Chains A and B, each alone.
Chain A
Amino acid sequence: MAATATREEIEGRVFKALEEFGAEPDQIGPDAEFEAMDVDSLDLVELAQIVEDEYGVQLKGEDMEGVKTVRQAVDLVMSKLG
């Protein structure tokens, strides 16, 4: 399953998670900053858990450092999928 995930799929899954976390739908987009959406460190741990469940990619705390936008998060997942 990991190898077949496209960028669009991962981005869509992240968007869905952000909505579940309580972010306003009209704020959510590729370049939206997590902080602006009131998405904090606890949400990001949950996001990492979702990504691991769905794509088999393990994200550690240090991987997430400096990740501020949806695009950066998706880039990170894509790079791990290699």
Chain B
Amino acid sequence: MTRTAVITGVGAVTPLGVGARTLHERWSAGVSGIEDGFGRASEFEPTDHLSVKEARRSDRFTQLALAASKEALEDAGWEDGPPGDPDRTACIIGTGIGGIGTLESQHIVMRDQGEQKISPLSIPLLMANAASGVVAMKYDLRGQSFGTVSACAAGAHAIGMAERLIRYGDADRVVTGGSEAAITPLATAAFGRMDALSDSGISRPFDRRRDGFVMGEGAGVLVLEEEEAAKERGARILGYLRGYASTSDAHHLTAPEPSGRGAAKAIELALKDAGLKPEDIVYVNAHGTSTPLNDRAETNAVKTAFGDELAGKLPVSSTKSAIGHLLGAAGAVESIATLLALRDRIAPPTLNYEEPDDGLDLDYVPNEARPLQNGEVRAIGISNAFGFGGHNAVLCLEAS
């Protein structure tokens, strides 16, 4: 019998505030979390969520993951650890870069004060798998735990892997998601030198004037459980992770393949994995970075995967218009945003979209949320995540 992964809890810390539902409600209302060209998680106070020791023992990216995990586990009704065998409970949390804030600050210590002054906590804080390790330790999750590292697809890859662990019987429940805290001097300057960042400081995906992405930070965590086990314990089921697929562009280190070939393939394979047809999808949560190249290639990919006619009718919106680009957290935060939008049967808006661009002619749900037209029977959507390196990951979610 096929084992199905259901979603029983969600948690998020984003530039729109602390809380998954805060993200959903504020984005749907058209609120932007971007200020002065950055999407900072400015409402997040580590010690509101973590003990002094936890806060000291973690880089900001792990702190964000801990806060999102706490919310997700409470949302799932977990008390004092997993509601089943800890050995069959896994933890996969992705990140694009990991603890780069720690890396940068410790490098300054070494340069100015010498290597003797380097903190012994440097490595455990900066390692990219720290979030998954710390969350597993805190909640006694003794199954597989690791981080996924695939730039801006890392969060989606983590959730996809988590789904596979459940489906293949390696785990009965998985705490999974993505986290990023890379609004640091080096990372900001480096993305800037690549010409990837918006000069205007405005995230306006798919708009003709889009000029790059706005850096954001945050974390998103979901609790996935095997359906029968979840039902047995009387868990509330928020939705289903129906399908997942991942491909590679094998084209360029940073630029997407212009036709969207690899991204389209990932969408097609995710639908096939879910046993669904293109017409079953009622909403697309785009990667939609606001870079000239991504938004064009992604539009092409959606058209290829769904066909021009169907693609033209699908609401396609970008969470990044409201929170910026959360890099390795993006795929996770946006999956949560997708699920909650599907549950409410609405398509949240692409903010700041005013001027259409040639060839970018999908329905981008400009500036105002809208009820989903075809979600009465089954509300199923996809969430796209693409990363530097040519990584494409697509998740197919259904609200219950």
Q: Mark A residues whose CB is within 8 Å of B.
A: 20-22, 38, 42, 45-46, 49, 52-53
Flag if B53 contacts A46 (CB, 8 Å). Answer: no
Instruction: Report chain B residues within 8 Å CB of A49.
Output: 116-117, 119-120
- Distance in angstroms from B123 CB to nearest chain A CB is 10
Cross-chain contact of A21 among B56, B119, B120 (Cβ < 8 A): B56
Give 9 CB contacts A-B under 8 Å: A20-B52, A21-B52, A22-B53, A22-B56, A38-B53, A42-B120, A46-B121, A49-B116, A49-B120
Q: Give the CA-CA distance A52 to B120 in the complex, in Å.
A: 14
Flag if A20 contacts B120 (CB, 8 Å). Answer: no
- Distance in angstroms from B390 CB to nearest chain A CB is 38
- Distance in angstroms from B163 CB to nearest chain A CB is 34
Instruction: Report chain B residues within 8 Å CB of A21.
Output: 52-53, 56
Flag if B121 contacts A22 (CB, 8 Å). Answer: no
B2 within 8 A of A: no
Q: Contact flags (1/0) for B41-55 with A, using CB distance below 8 Å?
A: 000000000011110
Instruction: Report chain B residues within 8 Å CB of A42.
Output: 57, 120-121, 124
- Distance in angstroms from B49 CB to nearest chain A CB is 14
Q: Give the CA-CA distance A49 to B118 in the complex, in Å.
A: 9
Instruction: Report chain A residues within 8 Å CB of B51.
Output: 22
- Distance in angstroms from B138 CB to nearest chain A CB is 13
Flag if A46 contacts B120 (CB, 8 Å). Answer: yes
Main secondary structure, interface of B, reads: helix
- Distance in angstroms from B35 CB to nearest chain A CB is 32
Instruction: Report chain A residues within 8 Å CB of B124.
Output: 42
Other 5 A-B pairs with CB < 8 A, given A52-B116, A53-B117:
A22-B51, A42-B120, A42-B124, A46-B120, A49-B116
- Distance in angstroms from A41 CB to nearest chain B CB is 9
Instruction: Report chain B residues within 8 Å CB of A45.
Output: 120
- Distance in angstroms from B58 CB to nearest chain A CB is 12
Q: Give the CA-CA distance A53 to B119 in the complex, in Å.
A: 13
Q: Give the CA-CA distance A22 to B50 in the complex, in Å.
A: 11
Q: Give the CA-CA distance A38 to B56 in the complex, in Å.
A: 13
Residue in chain B with minimal CB distance to A39 = B53
Instruction: Report chain A residues within 8 Å CB of B119.
Output: 46, 49
- Distance in angstroms from B60 CB to nearest chain A CB is 17
- Distance in angstroms from A74 CB to nearest chain B CB is 21
Instruction: Report chain B residues within 8 Å CB of A38.
Output: 53
Q: Give the CA-CA distance A52 to B121 in the complex, in Å.
A: 17
Residue in chain B with minimal CB distance to A58 = B116
- Distance in angstroms from A48 CB to nearest chain B CB is 9
- Distance in angstroms from B134 CB to nearest chain A CB is 13
Q: Give the CA-CA distance A49 to B116 in the complex, in Å.
A: 8
Cross-chain contact of B52 among A22, A52, A53 (Cβ < 8 A): A22
- Distance in angstroms from A36 CB to nearest chain B CB is 14
- Distance in angstroms from B166 CB to nearest chain A CB is 33
Q: Give the CA-CA distance A22 to B47 in the complex, in Å.
A: 12
- Distance in angstroms from B289 CB to nearest chain A CB is 38
Residue in chain B with minimal CB distance to A46 = B120
- Distance in angstroms from B301 CB to nearest chain A CB is 46
